[in-house]
Chains A and B, each alone.
Chain A
Amino acid sequence: MFRDITIGLYFPGNTIIHRLDPRIKIIIIMMFITSLFFITSFPPYILILAFILFVIYLSKVPLKHVLKGLKPLILIIVVTFLINAFLTKGEELFSIGPLTVTKEGLRQAVFMALRLIFLITGTSLLTLTTSPISLTDGIEKLLSPFKRIGVPAHELAMMMTIALRFIPTLLEETDKIMKAQMARGADFESGNILNRAKNLVPLLVPLFINAFRRADELAIAMEARCYRGGENRTRLNELKLDRKDILAISLSTLYFGFIISTRYI
């Protein structure tokens, strides 16, 4: 019952978007986010939307799949919308009880909601088309210049890799322990909040014990194979930039540069 949560993240494929160097994809997404925050009017949103649709088209990820990523965040989007709609001062449009909706508020609400939606779909395109492993590889490589000022790039990336690796395992285990306790008459579904929290003890204790046991075993297994952190470590698949990466980053720089510049013209 838990499996579908994480598996939905990466949508395997072999399109040009999937094959782009993860570092390039991360940088492009950062440019995307930056430009999104520079936008102050509606027209540039068309360019943003065009970018998203273009990437979705190239990556062959079904649109339905991309939109599914919005689902868990719908509440946040709605709350943002409502807060902006009700709390912005200006020319009154109509009012519901003590709350008034202004023209400026409505504009602001739509604007913010769109910004959130673009932000989420844009970034989810990164995780949809990049496997977690190459994503962490990319992060490690991008952070490595900062090693000199003490950023533990390799360790951070390794931590992320391990965490990602164990999410499905932990979910599976949660499912199994829950079932085992339900077989002994445990009830995780009814009762008030206090009771429910108390009923979680038979689930959480074994879960933590098993997680620590796993961590211990993994540490020993890594040590047994002489793992010593990132120093002098080479990798099986070195990341290499090629023509399509250079092309992608150049075009994106121009594109988002233009979007940012629209703010000042």
Chain B
Amino acid sequence: MIIKIENLNYIYNPNTPFEKKALDNINLTVEEGDFIGLIGHTGSGKSTLVQHLNGLLKPTSGKVIVDGIDTSSKDGNLKEVRQKVGLVFQYPEHQLFEETVYKDIAFGPKNLGLEKDEVHSRVKKAMELVGLDFENLKERSPFELSGGQKRRVAIAGVLAMKPKVLVLDEPTAGLDPRGRDEILGRIQKLYEEEGITIILVSHSMEDIARLVNKIIVMHKGKLVMEGETKEIFRKAEKLEELGLGIPQITCFMRRYKSRGNPVDDTVLTVEEAKRELINYLRRRGNV
């Protein structure tokens, strides 16, 4: 396992009138090669949890261990933790600051103290990974790019640190459908081709269903469900209780089944549903 969380509690502004318990006794392990979807209602503590994964927040009590390093121990090397776990915040394009795309992406690797050549090759690779044309864009100002491009520059900035685990906090918020598909496609490729372990926070059940192979559900600071994607989406009633839902196509298949059509109602994508329906109609035609 690469990340282990034990009895993690976190309280914002402790001992003030504004005290707020944001995480309540979380236990979790992340294995190498996982693609985890983190879902939960607004304010359930998702962003707070992911900020613990690279030591930006320290547990009020409990432990977070990343690749053998305890993030709250005094001698724990936080720089190493932050290199291992790359965290892409919500609206990451708001953190761009350099004059050129190249310099901005190089910020992380430079902080790691790498050689110039290594920095160069990492910037180039990172831009390729997110689908930005290196030659055309490297000297451009990041502020004159489109929203989707800016966001990809920001993600490249994190990828250039070569993290083992990539955590993305709502990477598609505020993008149009095309920008969203592009980003998600790139993330899937990163998982499949680069073998990076990924944790994806998202409010879109469709995106989660399409991409991840494990789901973690949070509610009011607690981790309430954990399991394989299909397993979790089978519990539609429970999810709805928590203010969440299931993908629309899964919902459709469940209703279709409840009307007396024995189809597989655990499908998660339109493609799968199409195949299942064709099969079903053929089966029925043959009888």
CB contacts (< 8 Å) of A249 on chain B: these are: none
**Does B94 reach chain A (CB closer than 8 Å)?**
yes
Q: Is there contact, CB below 8 Å, between A183 and B86?
A: yes
- Any A CB within 8 A of the CB of B136: no
Chain A 164-183 interface residues, beta-carbon cutoff 8 Å to B: 176-177, 179-183
Are A184 and B89 interface neighbours, CB within 8 A?
no
Q: Does A201 contact B (CB under 8 A)?
A: yes
Q: B158 at the A/B interface (Cβ < 8 Å)? A: yes
Q: How many interface contacts (CB-CB < 8 Å) are there between A and B?
A: 58
* A147 sits at the interface (CB 8 A): no
Q: Which one, A180, A185, A201, contacts B95 given CB within 8 A?
A: A180
| Chain A nearest Cβ from B153, distance in angstroms | 12
Does the CB pair B18–A3 fall under 8 Å? yes
B107 touches A184 (CB 8 A): yes
A201 x B97 contact (CB < 8 A): yes
> Which of A3, A181, A187 has a CB less than 8 Å from the CB of B13?
A3
CB distance from B87 to the nearest CB of A (A): 4
Residue of A nearest to B57 (CB): A179
Query: A7, A179, A202, A209: which contacts B56 (Cβ < 8 A)?
Result: A179
Contact present for B96 and A179 (CB under 8 Å): no
Chain B residue with the shortest CB-CB distance to A183: B87
A180-B111 in contact (CB<8A):
no
Residue A205 at the B interface, CB < 8 A? yes
A183 with B82: CB separation less than 8 A = yes
Tell me, rounded to whole Å, the shortest Cβ–Cβ distance linking A79 to chain B: 29
CA A183 to CA B54, docked complex, whole Å: 7
A132 CB → nearest B CB, Å: 17
B180-213 vs A, CB cutoff 8 Å, 1 = contact: the mask equals: 0000000000000000000000000000000000
Verify if A210 is at the interface (C-beta below 8 Å from B). Answer: yes
Contact (Cβ within 8 A) A185 B158:
no
Tell me the minimal C-beta distance from B130 to chain A in angstroms: 15
Chain A residues within 8 Å of chain B by Cβ, number? 20
Whether a CB of chain B sits under 8 angstroms from the CB of A4 is yes
Q: How near does chain B come to A48, taking the closest CB pair, in angstroms?
A: 29
Is the Cβ of A206 less than 8 Å from the Cβ of B94?
yes
Q: Does B221 contact A (CB under 8 A)?
A: no
Contact B51 A179 (CB under 8 A): yes
State which residues 38-56 of B face A: CB under 8 Å. Answer: 51, 54, 56
Q: Are A183 and B158 in contact (CB under 8 A)?
A: yes
- In the assembled complex, the Cα of A3 lies from the Cα of B89 at a distance in Å of 19
- Most chain B beta-carbon neighbours within 10 Å: one of A182, A183, A209: A183
User: Any chain A CB within 8 A of the CB of B247?
Assistant: no
A202 and B13 in contact, given A182-B82, A183-B54, A185-B82 (Cβ under 8 angstroms): no
The reply to whether B108 and A185 contact each other, CB–CB distance below 8 Å, is yes
| A146 CB to nearest B CB, Å | 38
A186 at the interface (CB under 8 A from B): yes
Contact with A along B155-185 (1 / 0, CB 8 A): 0011001000000000000000000000000
**Is B270 an interface position by the 8 A CB rule?**
no
| Docked complex Cα distance between A181 and B79 (Å) | 12
Nearest to A176 among chain B residues (CB) is: B89
Q: Are B16 and A180 in contact (CB under 8 A)?
A: no
B83 at interface (Cβ–Cβ under 8 A)? yes
A101 CA to B82 CA, complexed, in Å = 55
CB-based nearest A residue for B95: A180
Measured CA separation A7–B17 after assembly (Å): 10
When chains A and B are docked, how far (Å) is the Cα of A4 from the Cα of B15?
Answer: 11
Q: Given that A185-B108, A185-B112 are contacting pairs, would A210 and B158 also be in contact in the complex, using a CB cutoff of 8 Å?
A: no
Highest count of chain A CB atoms <10 Å: which of B16, B82, B111: B111
A185 to chain B, nearest CB (A): 3
CA distance A183 to B111 in the complex (A): 11
Cβ B18 vs Cβ A4 within 8 A: yes
Interchain CB contact under 8 A, A184 and B56:
no
Would you give the shortest CB distance from A181 to chain B, in whole angstroms? 6
Q: Which residues of B contact A186 (CB under 8 A)?
A: 107, 111
**Complex interface: chain B residues within 8 A of A184 (CB):** 82, 107-108, 111, 157-158, 161
B143 at the interface (CB under 8 A from A): yes
Contact A180 B92, CB 8 Å, known A185-B111, A205-B97, A209-B143: yes
Instruction: Please list the 6 inter-chain residue pairs (A to B) with the smallest Cβ-Cβ separation, ordered nearest first.
Output: A185-B111, A205-B97, A184-B108, A180-B95, A183-B87, A180-B89
Question: Which of B's residues lie within 8 Å of A, judged by CB?
Answer: 13, 16, 18, 51, 54, 56, 79, 82-83, 86-87, 89, 92, 94-97, 107-108, 111-112, 143, 157-158, 161
